[in-house]
Homo-oligomer: A and B are copies of this chain.
Amino acid sequence: MKFIFILTGKTNQQVFDKIIADYLGRLKHYINYEMIVIPEVKNAKNISISEHKEREADAIIKYIDNQDDVILLDEKGKQFSSVKFAEFIDKKCMSTYKRIVFVVGGPFGFSNRIYERANGLISMSAMTFSHQMIRLIFFEQLYRAMTIIKGEKYHHE
């Protein structure tokens, strides 16, 4: 199983990149992954929100194969405890899919095309976070999930 992370837009603060790089470094010991960062939409100020979402969708869809298990990080998604999230990830790892694609969208959410393609929606919290924060949270939780699956001591119940 290969994990594909599709992230929209660069983080604009190096400190976030540092922490994310730290979690990604730790994740290497547990999973095989590839990270794709979609550039920010150009001239974003001069286009409508729906046009913005369509352009992001064009870029995202290029990286998704027909056979992929596509999971969106979305406020409307299913919420988990960390332990339940670990179970979710563990099940995914044992599925017949060859690739699981996690997509972290831009500030306005996803185009309908992306929702229709998705196999599932997950949410890290009922709260809204900046795109930098949500990445941090996601990678920390994915790392935590791995330590839970492996029975390591990072996580306290």
Contact = CB atoms under 8 A, between A and B. Distances in A.
Interface of A: 13, 15-16, 18-19, 22, 79-82, 85, 107-108, 124-130, 133, 136-137, 140-141, 144, 155-157
B129 A81 contact: no
Contacts of A128: 81-82, 144, 155-157
29 contacts: A13-B19, A15-B18, A15-B19, A16-B19, A19-B19, A79-B125, A79-B126, A80-B126, A80-B127, A81-B127, A81-B128, A82-B127, A82-B128, A107-B156, A108-B156, A124-B125, A124-B127, A125-B125, A125-B126, A125-B127, A127-B141, A128-B144, A128-B156, A128-B157, A129-B140, A130-B140, A133-B136, A133-B137, A136-B136
A18 B126 CA distance: 25
A133 B129 CA distance: 13
Instruction: Tell me how many chains of this kind the complex includes.
Output: 2
Contact of A129 (B19, B126, B137): B137
A155 B133 CA distance: 13
A9 to B, nearest CB: 13
A90 B18 CA distance: 34
Contacts of A82: 127-128
A43 to B, nearest CB: 18
